[in-house]
A and B are shown apart, each in its own frame.
Chain A
Amino acid sequence: MSVQERAPAPSLLEMRGVAKSFNRNPVLEDVSLSVGRGEVHALIGENGAGKSTLMKILMGMTTADAGEIRLEGKAVSPRDPRAAMDLGLAMIHQELSPVLDMEVAENVFLGREIRRARFGRFGVVDLGQMRRSCQALFDRFSIPIDPSARMRDLSVAEMQIVEIVKAISTSAKIVIMDEPTSAITEREVAILFRQIDALRAHGVSVIYISHKLDEIFRIADRISVMRDGVMVASGPVSAFDRDSVIRAMVGREITNFVPKETVPIGEPVLTVRNLAWRDRVRDVSFSVHAGEILGVAGLVGAGRSEMVETLFGIRHASSGEILIRSLPRRIRSPGRAIANGLALVTEDRKTTGLNLLGTVEENISLAALDRAARLGIIRKSVERTWADDNIATLRIKTFSRDALVSSLSGGNQQKVVLAKWLVTTPDIIILDEPTRGIDVGAKRDIYVLIGELAREGKAVIVISSELIEIMGLADRILVMAQGRITGELTRDAFSQERIMELATPADERTNV
């Protein structure tokens, strides 16, 4: 009854009084959310605020302890994702799960394959028809992707778009996007946003989960903010500004979002000359100094990750020279890189950073086990000290060093990866997208840490696709495109426009 009183035009989706506990820990308390038709509704909050749980309840992936869900005024309770899909709900996950060796069209129709008229009841699929239907969908949203391309050959942004099309093709009324831009660059974000606008125009609602406030203010109609399992603010986007959203999220004032302090810059620690790896990294030369934070900007696919992975011995350089404190070094394996004082916080903590089956402590000591051991036997006391010290100094939220690392939130997992590299006591720390997909509080902690590392005289290299982040952190920025360094900017010359210009050479602008 009170629904009508509060919202005169009935919302498309109404969640009311939703509560949920795990092991008697309340993760959601009396949460309400209302989404209008054709509305882009941003749902934000730090990791662990309860956004994902709320969406899982909506998608039938877990059940609420209390509360109700109304879709177009009717009470619904999806039992599983399939039932949620049938109700017109679709979710695009943070970690995409396409079948890489299938065609785009097959992925779009996965689970509801179009069958042949003749032998359909024997399960014979009609690939041609699927391609044509897929093409029709792509045409409707003017998407330049070939339905018969293999999924594997697509960029992350393109896969993202295919997932969206898949959601629409199930005639979804509401599409939930969980961190859709965490793996794509600014330019690809623009492509994604065009699709979101098209969805809105077709009357489809979007629940948009993100940490990136810029994006939210660009795309959202309404904003709802969660904190510690409670909905703390909800309203039209015009009722918020950046500061008020952050205040609502963290419950405290955050000033100087990306703090930068000036520290004396010393001798060059790492010098790279004409480094190449196949045709993905070409003729890269630069050096980093003690106390310096060097930013590396560029689009996804510009060869930034490949470049640092070659430096770190994960990929074997085709040519080039690496000098550490002016001495030439051959780095043919990560083990050699670590021995030479390098550390690499890789781009994707789940696939390359952590052993998700291991505990916090086991992950923290992994790269430096030899130093914790005598005659090959691990000294538990050393290992425990490493874990406890880092849990304290990095403020890793975990109830024990023996907790499985997979039980931590994304931001805290990222801190575990950082801790793992800090215990190797490196001189040169490379961080590849260190704040991807983590919440504002953890981000800030990591910015502070990066600043401290520079102050201690370490050479720091930060790869980031978030321009504001990299401009805030770095003393100097290298811009890469197509495997080459296309420009170098000092702090007084930083500007988003200049970086984007260097990141997109003229001949690349054609293949959008």
Chain B
Amino acid sequence: MSERRRRGLAPDRFFQDFGLVLIFVVVVGVLVLLSPGAFARPANLIGIIKQASINGVLAMGMMFVIISGGIDLSVGSIVAFAGVVAASLAHPGEYPLALTIAAPVALGAGIGAINGLSVAYGRIPSFIVTLAAMIVFRGAALIACDGSPVFNVSNAFEEIAGGFVGDVLPYLAIYFVVVALVSAFVLKMTVFGRRVYAIGGNPVAAAVSGINVRALQTIVYVISGALAGFAGLLLASRTVSGSPTAGEGYELNAIAAVIIGGVSMSGGVGHWYGPVIGALLIAVIGNGLDILNVSSYYQLIIQGLIIYFAVLADVRSKGGLR
């Protein structure tokens, strides 16, 4: 086991870091070859980015939590709750748009803070805290709108996710890129980001080194919650409604993107671009299979197998299996 993690020769390192990019390029290439007319159409590619963006935003938050050594199962329910709240504040001519945007994000951050405080100071395992939050806030979403979706939103609200820059570039894609770049910067360049890796790698050593582990743990859940609130806003805008049953299973898609992106579930290891590509890959494959007329039942099986093999490849490249 002591040879585990030893940095091997250059080709190994290359594959470990860029293997995922390679897989992505290959998948895209295959899809282009199989259905040149349909897949590579600009409209279709934009659809893919739209499809990937909401999951991608969630995956960025999830990445912080997982690298810190935790997990956040509550994001799907936050998407629903925040979406319902956003739509309720978005009826034409009632509230300023700024509030409609700020409220769901703040709500998500608040729920994230509860999660984070419970994990950091209450010492409850993150799986349990966020599982409870997932159930509680799904209920809260249903109560907030009395069980039925909220319609009648303003045009400005619809524009948030539905708009385009110059008729080609969807706002959704821009949000995703901005969130990804900011996350990358924070994770890679800042003291905060470095400490997230440190507490995920060895929380005791981090604490002894003067790092306020609990404060940091709280903050990563706030980030995840805030991004989930933002994703809820985007989804409500995109679907022109706030549905209490929206976002079901989104937490698992986000986790899948993070895992496919090579981030270690036990924390401390992972690159920012992994979950970005993970989210894109999931969307590309879903879209490609649609185009190839693969039934959605089989799509589930294929998606599951991709996660399985992504993790298997990851474990193998680290020498954990022999």
Q: Which of the segments A138-146, A403-411, A452-460, A482-490 contacts the partner chain?
A: A403-411
Contact B210 A355 (CB under 8 A): no
- Contacting residues of chain A (167-214) with chain B, CB-CB under 8 angstroms: none
- Contacting residues of chain B (1-56) with chain A, CB-CB under 8 angstroms: 2-9
Q: How far is the CB of B257 from chain A (nearest CB, A)?
A: 21
Q: Which residues of B contact A52 (CB under 8 A)?
A: 2
Contact B208 A373 (CB under 8 A): no
Q: Which residues of A contact B2 (CB under 8 A)?
A: 52, 406
Q: How far is the CB of B58 from chain A (nearest CB, A)?
A: 24
- The answer to the question of B204 belonging to the interface, with a C-beta cut-off of 8 Å to chain A, is yes
Contact B190 A366 (CB under 8 A): no
Contact B194 A23 (CB under 8 A): no
- The answer to the question of B269 belonging to the interface, with a C-beta cut-off of 8 Å to chain A, is yes
Q: How far is the CB of B283 from chain A (nearest CB, A)?
A: 30
Count the A residues whose beta carbon is within 8 Å of the partner chain — how many? 37
Q: How far is the CB of A196 from chain B (nearest CB, A)?
A: 26
Q: Which of the segments B195-203, B248-256, B307-315 contacts the partner chain?
A: B195-203
Contact A346 B208 (CB under 8 A): yes
- The answer to the question of A362 belonging to the interface, with a C-beta cut-off of 8 Å to chain B, is yes
CA A339 to CA B3, docked complex, whole Å: 37
Binary CB contact string for chain B from 205 to 227 against chain A (1 if under 8 A, 0 otherwise): 11111111000000000000000
- The answer to the question of B151 belonging to the interface, with a C-beta cut-off of 8 Å to chain A, is no
CA A455 to CA B286, docked complex, whole Å: 67
Q: Say whether, besides A356-B201, A404-B5, A335 and B212 are in contact (CB < 8 Å).
A: yes
- The answer to the question of B192 belonging to the interface, with a C-beta cut-off of 8 Å to chain A, is yes
- The answer to the question of A261 belonging to the interface, with a C-beta cut-off of 8 Å to chain B, is no
| Contact with B189, one of A312, A339, A352, A378 (Cβ below 8 angstroms) | A378
- The answer to the question of A45 belonging to the interface, with a C-beta cut-off of 8 Å to chain B, is no
Q: Say whether, besides A362-B194, A366-B206, A420-B209, A355 and B5 are in contact (CB < 8 Å).
A: no
Contact A352 B190 (CB under 8 A): no
CA A22 to CA B190, docked complex, whole Å: 36
Shortest Cβ distance from A342 into B: residue: B210
Contact A351 B191 (CB under 8 A): no
- The answer to the question of B229 belonging to the interface, with a C-beta cut-off of 8 Å to chain A, is no
| Contact with B9, one of A23, A335, A354 (Cβ below 8 angstroms) | A23
Interface size class of B (residues with CB under 8 A): 20 to 34
Q: Which residues of A contact B205 (CB under 8 A)?
A: 351-355, 366
Q: Say whether, besides A357-B201, A378-B189, A366 and B3 are in contact (CB < 8 Å).
A: no
Q: How far is the CB of A493 from chain B (nearest CB, A)?
A: 34
Contact B3 A362 (CB under 8 A): no
Q: Which residues of B contact A403 (CB under 8 A)?
A: 7
- The answer to the question of B288 belonging to the interface, with a C-beta cut-off of 8 Å to chain A, is no
A-B Cβ contacts below 8 A, count: 98
Between B2, B6, B195, B202, the greatest number of chain A beta carbons within 10 A of the residue's beta carbon is seen for: B202
Between A335, A355, A377, the greatest number of chain B beta carbons within 10 A of the residue's beta carbon is seen for: A355
- The answer to the question of B262 belonging to the interface, with a C-beta cut-off of 8 Å to chain A, is no
| Contact with B210, one of A334, A376, A378 (Cβ below 8 angstroms) | A334
- The answer to the question of A98 belonging to the interface, with a C-beta cut-off of 8 Å to chain B, is no
Contact B5 A378 (CB under 8 A): no
Contact B197 A362 (CB under 8 A): yes
| Contact with B202, one of A314, A338, A344, A357 (Cβ below 8 angstroms) | A357
CA A354 to CA B195, docked complex, whole Å: 13
- Contacting residues of chain A (325-375) with chain B, CB-CB under 8 angstroms: 333-335, 337-339, 344, 346, 351-358, 362, 365-367, 369-370, 373
Shortest Cβ distance from A383 into B: residue: B194
Q: Which residues of A contact B207 (CB under 8 A)?
A: 314, 334
Q: Which residues of B contact A373 (CB under 8 A)?
A: 190-191
Q: How far is the CB of B4 from chain A (nearest CB, A)?
A: 8
Binary CB contact string for chain A from 373 to 407 against chain B (1 if under 8 A, 0 otherwise): 10011100000000000000000000000011011
- The answer to the question of B112 belonging to the interface, with a C-beta cut-off of 8 Å to chain A, is no
CA A334 to CA B209, docked complex, whole Å: 7
Show 20 A/B contacts (Cβ-Cβ < 8 Å), sorted by A.
Answer: A23-B8, A314-B208, A334-B207, A334-B209, A334-B211, A335-B212, A351-B205, A352-B208, A353-B208, A354-B205, A355-B202, A356-B5, A357-B5, A357-B201, A358-B201, A358-B268, A366-B194, A366-B205, A373-B191, A420-B209
| Chain B residues within 8 Å of A, Cβ to Cβ | 2-9, 189-192, 194-195, 197-198, 200-202, 204-212, 264, 268-269
| Chain A residues within 8 Å of B, Cβ to Cβ | 22-23, 52, 62, 312, 314, 333-335, 337-339, 344, 346, 351-358, 362, 365-367, 369-370, 373, 376-378, 403-404, 406-407, 420
Known: A334-B208, A358-B268. 12 other contacts (CB 8 A): A22-B6, A23-B9, A351-B205, A355-B197, A357-B202, A366-B206, A367-B209, A373-B190, A376-B190, A378-B190, A406-B4, A420-B209
